[in-house]
Amino acid sequence: MFKFTSHTIVNNNVCEIYQPLSYFASIWMVAGVKYYICPNVKTIILSCKTLVGPTQKMNLFQSVTSALDNTLASDPTAVIFGEDVAFGGVFRCTVGLRDKYGKDRVFNTPLCEQGIVGFGIGVAVAGATAIAEIQFADYIYPAFDQIVNEAAKYRYRSGNLFDCGNLTIRAPWGCVGHGSLYHSQSPEAFFAHCPGIKVVIPRGPVQAKGLLLSCIADKNPCIFFEPKILYRAAVEQVPVESYTLPLSQAEVLQEGSDVTLLAWGTQIHVMREVADMAQEKLGVSCEVIDLQTILPWDTETVCKSVVKTGRLLISHEAPVTGGFAAEISSTVQEECFLNLEAPISRVCGYDTPFPHVFEPFYIPDKWKCFEAIKRMINY
């Protein structure tokens, strides 16, 4: 008996990872013929999809560019639009695309977020693939009505006669070290309360490309938040050709037995460091999970982990009150109450506007998360 858990890339292959009920050494089966023994990971790859073409070193913004390039090349209806995207955008995610595909397919818009999303809804309803860029997630709020009352409800209000499922909205997201009030926000929780859209946040270049292409292909409007501090922070071998990773599927990055650490985007890298600290300093085994999709989120993977560990720490940069950690905490408490060994812990941003010089004190860093683990273990 095996259960699908996630995807990975091994030797230029996208591989499906399955978790066996009882297995003490892993066998990685690449393309069905080549085997890798991995005694430290209790998973087995049972099937693989060989990628077409080579991989290339890319950072996160380059992997986004690659995904957009693949889409424009394969879909003649696809258009990309937003403030300054024609010359590459603030973070260079669309650089070179106008020159390659023309000004009718990659073009600037006025500085009007509600107009950008409203236009994207119309493009998608007409049957084309619309990829809208909001220059910073902090400025998505003027488009809130268009997203929540129009895009999310278009299919429902027409009884599925019409929809704008071909709409994807990209936006740089999260803190960056010096962004202060208007260039540091994490607004995912606002949209998690809105049925009819999907909300996705990647942690690195491989996930960014695969998940973005999944959003573009998905038949529901999607919001794709890109952690801007990671745009140039990490380089991975990313397939040049198109590939997708499943939405609404959390990924177990590290297995453990004592505490479940759950995060997404930038914060997942903090969780991995905290897991190493907990093992080294406390002898505590942490299971690290990247949620990846905020809406609809993968309750099964998270709850299965908490049943095993009995403890859950959730961390995100957004303010703690009404943050998405609260929804996760509530669901896990309902589903796993009898398995909990300690109260669920949330380590999040404070209930203040995002500060400038005090950003190091605001963010949920590894030390705050480490102290939360100690409290749970000693409960």
| Residue with tokens 């790859």, as numbered in its chain | 45
pLDDT at 111 over 70: yes
- 34, pLDDT greater than 50: no
- Is residue 324 pLDDT above 50, yes or no? yes
Task: List the catalytic residues.
Answer: 113, 183
Query: Which pLDDT score is estimated for 257?
Result: 98
Q: Are strands 222-227 and 198-200 parallel, antiparallel or unpaired?
A: parallel
Average pLDDT (135-144) is 98
pLDDT of residue 266: 97
Mean pLDDT of 260-275: 98
β-partners of residue 170 are: 133, 224
Give the Cα-Cα-Cα angle 354, 289, 378 (nearest 5 degrees): 80
Could you tell me the end-to-end alpha-carbon distance of the chain, in angstroms, rounded to an integer?
35
Q: How many residues does the chain have?
A: 379
Report whether 212 contacts 245 (CB < 8 A): no
All CATH 3.40.50.920 domain ranges of the chain, comma separated, are 251-378
Give the model's confidence band at 65: pLDDT under 50 very low, under 70 low, under 90 confident, else very high. Answer: very high
Name the average pLDDT for the chain: 89
Q: What is the CATH number of domain 251-378?
A: 3.40.50.920
* 120-135 confidence digits (pLDDT tens): 999 999 999 999 999 9
Greatest extent of the chain over all pairs of C-alpha atoms, in Å: 61
Domain(s) of CATH 3.40.50.970: residues in the chain: 55-239
CATH number of 55-239: 3.40.50.970
Residue 234: pLDDT band (50, 70, 90) is: confident
What are residue 108's DSSP bridge partners?
Answer: 82
**Distance between alpha carbon 134 and the CA centroid of its chain, in Å?**
17
Q: Measure the CA–CA gap between 139 and 265, rounded to whole angstroms.
A: 19
Strands 198-200 and 293-295: antiparallel
* 76-99 pLDDT per residue, tens: 999 999 999 999 999 999 999 999
